[in-house]
Amino acid sequence: MPLHPAYTEKLRLLNSQNAPPLRAVPVELIRETYRTMQPERPDVAVESVQEVTIPTDSGTLGIRIYRPSLRDDLPVVLMFHGGGWVIGDLTTVDGQCRDVAVGTGAIVVAVDYRLAPEHRFPTAAEDCFSALNWVHDNIHAYGGDSARLGVAGDSAGGNLAAVVALMSRDRHGPELQCQLLVYPVIDGTNFDSSSYLENAQGFGLTRDDMLWFWDQYTNCDDRTNPYASPIVAESMSDLPPALILTAEYDVLRDEGEAYGERLRTDGVDAEVVRFDGFIHGFFAETKSVPATRKAMRLACQRLSKYLRPE
130, 154, 155, 195: which is the annotated catalytic residue? 155
| 3 state SS of 88 | coil
Residue 284 DSSP class: G
* Residue pair 30/22 in contact by the 8 Å Cβ criterion: yes
* Residue pair 218/188 in contact by the 8 Å Cβ criterion: yes
User: Is 155 marked active-site?
Assistant: yes
d(CA 295, CA 223): 30
d(CA 51, CA 264): 37
d(CA 96, CA 292): 12
d(CA 14, CA 169): 41
94, 154, 250, 254: which is the annotated catalytic residue? 250
Q: How many CB atoms lie within 10 A of CB 266?
A: 15
Strand locations in 256-305 (E): 270-279
User: Is 280 marked active-site?
Assistant: yes
* Residue pair 76/146 in contact by the 8 Å Cβ criterion: yes
| 3 state SS of 144 | strand
Angular region, 301: left φ>0, alpha ψ -120 to 50, beta rest: alpha
Nearest one of 276, 310, 269 to 291, comparing CA atoms = 276
4, 81, 136, 280: which is the annotated catalytic residue? 280
Strand locations in 57-171 (E): 59-67, 74-80, 107-112, 144-154
Distances (CA, A) of 245 to 67, 162, 258, 272: 25, 13, 12, 6
Q: Quick one: how many helices (H) and strands (E) in the chain? A: 9, 8
Q: What is the set of active-site residues?
A: 155, 250, 280
